[in-house]
Structure 1
Amino acid sequence: MRLPSSTSLLLGALVTLGACSADSINGLRERPRFSTTGILAHEPVLFVHGWNANSTTWTTMVGRFKADGYTDAELVNWSYNSAQSNKTTAQLIAQKIDSIMRVTGATRVDIITHSMGALSARYYIRNLGGDGKVDGLVTLGGANHGTNTAFFCGQASCIEMRPGSTFLAALNSTTDAFGSPRYAAWWSGCDEVISPQKSAMFTALSATNTQTVCLKHS
């Protein structure tokens, strides 16, 4: 699946992560928009694609981040085996984040996810120490509360993505916006993959949910 090229959706992600100026976006609380290292101009961003996809999901968005002033050192794009458990992918995210922080000296990293990528990123934040390392998490068409389309796939990651799964029950217990990071979800009423579409939304009052114009999932 490839992320739709949407100016409004991109702008929302940029504002959320402090990459461009705006007064507010649906009440999202602000945090400092400067490097914690004194070297980088922005907090680094890790991109996490979704099921049956790869790093090319983010080609357009990475280009727009660069146009907005981000450098290669501040943008980390990668591919992983989307058939494996989201718990396994979360362990890889933990390694990526630690590597980014070690190389750049940053104390926190922002994460932008698409589709199923939201689940592994959130698992990392909740269970693998990411709470103290992630500043903001943006989920684009995220399977935050599962999707019925996952019943057509028997891979480990798909089983976890099914509404009512043990994985999702644990991930969303007490809150679906765990810890100190900022959480923001963008979802579309025309999404044909996330079913029901509102499964992409966070229920936590501390999170921000934004409905886009009519956009397909891929």
Structure 2
Amino acid sequence: MLPWKRVLRPLAALLLTAAVATVPATAAQAADAPTSGWNNYSCKPSAAHPRPVVLVHGTLANSVDNWLAFAPYLKDRGYCVFSFDYGQLPGVPLFYGLGPIDKSAEQLKTFVDKVLSATGAAETDLVGHSQGGMMPRYYLKFLGGAAKVNALVGIAPSNHGTTLNGFTKLLPYFPGAEDLLTTATPALADQVAGSAFLTKLNEGGDTVPGVRYTVLATKYDEVVTPYRSQFLDGPGVRNVVLQDLCPIDLSEHAAIGLFDRIAFHEVVNALDPAHAKATTCASVFD
């Protein structure tokens, strides 16, 4: 085995933990989603929840598996909930979020317009996991999304990239490794700390006026490292460490987005701050 492959193997293994389930979504699962009120284009936002919520999956995930627990959680609380697939690579089914992130942001723009048209709402709220919590910031900053988005909630978002516990710092020492990563999986290369994409995204400030930002991070994140790199700086930002809400919560990168009801409870607080309730370890029962 070539030496650089010995480095890329653990790198790939860590990235794969961002995939949302061990079993990919099936056509039957996807078909079931609308029947439960998720991706129901006849849903009209209520006075209590006047904005539809668009869920944005993470790298190597998809619009169903990433949200099998959280979409019903929101729907049961009266929200109109939508999700979509983005970042497709030719010949790679079921696992998305791998294409160039700026192009994925264009797909988000198209989907938000579709949701707003169907629901009649003037704005939406965005909730994203991992890349899905960072990619929308490109839409907000460069594609006119700030006029159509009230709030962005990032769950373990890769806002300032990742070092993958130092693995990415080794890439320059292995000829061809960086080019391979960029060519084969552009989104992974875009999320390496210090990438050209992230430099452009964060230049001039992390936020744009008029949008509320919430970041939920876990100390045990093994994919987006260091975990404080997920935080944003600027007006209208709230950065939250999950363990400050519930010290015994041991969720890591995938779990915080998959099934962590402490995180779910805090997301709902971010979507409806006027009716927020304190998030504690007991929130798993809400």
TM value normalised by structure 2 = 0.60
Q: For the Cα contact (< 8 Å) 1:86–1:119, is it kept in 2? A: no
* 2:70 is aligned with 1:61: yes
User: SS of the residue aligned with 1:147?
Assistant: coil
* 2:147 is aligned with 1:132: yes
Q: Tell me, which stretches of 5 or more residues in structure 1 are unaligned? A: 4-38
Residue identity matched to 1:40: P
* 2:83 is aligned with 1:77: yes
Equivalence for 2:253: 217
Residue identity matched to 1:207: V
Separation of aligned partners in 1, 2:211 and 2:20: 26
Q: Deviations over 1:5-53 (max 9, x none)?
A: xxxxxxxxxxxxxxxxxxxxxxxxxxxxxxxxxx521210100011111
User: Alpha-carbon deviation of 1:185?
Assistant: 0.1
Q: Which has the larger radius of gyration?
A: 2
Q: For the Cα contact (< 8 Å) 1:126–1:179, is it kept in 2? A: no
User: Alpha-carbon deviation of 1:157?
Assistant: 0.7
* 2:125 is aligned with 1:107: no
Higher helix share: 2
User: SS of the residue aligned with 1:69?
Assistant: coil
Task: Determine which structure has greater relative contact order: mean sequence separation of CA pairs < 8 Å that are 6+ residues apart, divided by chain length.
Answer: 1
Equivalence for 2:113: 98
Separation of aligned partners in 2, 1:190 and 1:181: 28
Separation of aligned partners in 1, 2:235 and 2:119: 33
Residue identity matched to 2:136: A
User: Alpha-carbon deviation of 1:138?
Assistant: 0.2
Please, what is the CA RMSD of the aligned residues? 1.7
Q: Deviations over 1:42-98 (max 9, x none)?
A: 21010001111112111101111122122xxx2111222211011111000000011
Separation of aligned partners in 2, 1:180 and 1:108: 12
Residue identity matched to 1:79: D
Q: Deviations over 1:115-169 (max 9, x none)?
A: 0112321100100010100000000000000011383781211111111111111
Separation of aligned partners in 1, 2:240 and 2:135: 21
Separation of aligned partners in 2, 1:44 and 1:66: 10
User: SS of the residue aligned with 1:101?
Assistant: helix
User: Alpha-carbon deviation of 1:106?
Assistant: 0.6
Residue identity matched to 1:45: V
Residue identity matched to 2:120: G
TM value normalised by structure 1 = 0.78
Aligned residues: 180
Matches within 5 A, 1:109-188: 109-149=124-164, 151=168, 154=181, 155-188=185-218
User: Alpha-carbon deviation of 1:100?
Assistant: 1.0
User: SS of the residue aligned with 1:190?
Assistant: coil
Q: Percent identity?
A: 29
Bigger mean CA offset, 208-217 vs 149-158: 149-158
User: Alpha-carbon deviation of 1:202?
Assistant: 0.8
Residue identity matched to 2:218: S
Equivalence for 1:2: 20
User: Alpha-carbon deviation of 1:2?
Assistant: 2.6
Separation of aligned partners in 2, 1:181 and 1:203: 13
Equivalence for 2:45: 40
Residue identity matched to 1:2: V
Equivalence for 2:57: 49
